Amino acid sequence: MLIGIDLGSRSIKLAAVKDGILAESLVVESGFAPHDQAALLLARFSAQRVVSTGYGRHLAQRHFAGEIITEIKAHALGARHAAPSCETVLDVGGQDSKVINLDDAGRVKNFQMNDKCAAGTGRFLEIMAATLGYTLAEFGDAALAAQEGSAIGSMCAVFAESEVISLKNRGTPPEVIARSVHLAIVDRLAAMLNKAGHGRRLVFSGGAARNRALVALLEERLGVRFTVPERPEIMGALGAALHAGTLD
């Protein structure tokens, strides 16, 4: 069994590949000692080879991973496996967002990455949802239910939270605020995609791809359609496992 582990900022994702096919996947919270959490996941498998990616990949290499690869390469490999004709990958994780453009052979041509603040990431969605009293699943549904949104002036997580509270205290319906927050994130992601350039065949990966409102509003803004894998959050881990299969 070939194992890929993505030690992310918010969660650990494991993908087990056998004969080039995803056999099993697991996702758990990173916790205080992510390498210990990852080791517990690994104990469930008879691993032929382990490759790690993500924020904690160097930590994984010190403890159990035979090799590491960058998140960019891992997500490119995972997305191409999920959608073989994929030209562009949008990955929205817990603490960063990435746009990755691929050539015809699936190699990385260029990429854009936002890793300086929480804006346009899963963490930003979590903060805004909690401020309005929604779960993440409810937050996206509320945004889809609203017909309009109010302008959110700041994409700084701290200032945006204050602005959301002010809107709530002025009596703005929570679903309108939810849509406003989603539109602000869509603005940020669309700007990244336009700056990097993007093809017509796009894959949306990362946990945020489970948010139906984010996908729908971004498709509407850009005039494109995204392929969302069945388990978008494991694309990095899947790519790491697939890379393991290329090693001697």
The whole-number pLDDT of residue 73 equals 97
Q: What's the pLDDT tens digit per position in 122-164?
A: 888 998 899 999 998 899 999 999 988 876 766 666 677 788 8
Both tokens of residue 237?
A: 């881990």
Of 27 and 164, the one with more pLDDT: 27
Looking at every residue in the chain, the average pLDDT score rounds to 91
- 65, with CB counted inside 10 A (0-12, 13-18, 19+), is buried
pLDDT of residue 118: 65
Exposed/middle/buried for residue 215 (C-beta within 10 Å: 0-12, 13-18, 19+): buried
pLDDT confidence of residue 72: 96
pLDDT in tens, 227-240: 999 999 999 999 99
- Crossing angle of helices 136-145 and 174-196, in 10° steps, is 90
How many Å apart are CA 183 and CA 177, to the nearest integer?
Answer: 10
Binned at pLDDT 50, 70 and 90, residue 106 comes out as very high
User: Which pLDDT belongs to residue 111?
Assistant: 94
